Amino acid sequence: MNNRILVIEDNEQNLYLMRFLLEKNGFAVIGAENGRKGIELALSSRPLAILLDIQLPEMDGYAVAAELKKHGELDQVPIIAVTSYAMVGDRERILSAGATGYIEKPIDPDTFLTEMSQYLPKKRNNKEDENENSGCR
């Protein structure tokens, strides 16, 4: 199963925190400290999802999202913006640039995983998980 999450984030502490929370929950984290590297890694590693900081050097998150959307092979990969911008207009701007959703900074360790998970592709529509532990004899 693809459990790779690409995190494009230039702030070391934020990257560290997201990596910690994701790895603790069974995801493999690929980190990129700028947009160019992030786009390269998105294409080469085909992650399950991309967490994208907005305030990045040189190429900001809006530009990165727009560039990622040009690659049809990444169609099914949600882009989740991680933004400290509180203004409604900025949210709309990142969503129209191609983001699937956004998570607000500062990252809250208690809610980060739940927030992120709502944007992940839904794989199972059946009751397999529930039945696994039902102990049929």
Q: Quote the tokens at residue 62.
A: 């809006």
Among residues 56, 98, 48, the alpha carbon closest in space to that of 76 is found at 48
**Residue 34 makes contact with Mn ion by CB under 5 A:** no
Piece of the chain touching Mn ion by CB under 5 A; list 42-50, 55-63, 76-84, 108-116: 55-63
Q: What are residue 101's DSSP bridge partners? A: 80
The answer to whether 8 touches 52, Cβ cutoff 8 Å, is yes
Which is closer to Mn ion, CB of 76 or CB of 84?
84
**Residue 10 makes contact with Mn ion by CB under 5 A:** yes
**Residue 35 makes contact with Mn ion by CB under 5 A:** no
**Where do we find the tokens 């959307």?**
69
Which is closer to Mn ion, CB of 45 or CB of 55?
55
CA atoms 94, 102, 63, 67: torsion sign: negative
Give min distance, CB of 24 to Mn ion, in A.
Answer: 22
Give min distance, CB of 55 to Mn ion, in A.
Answer: 4
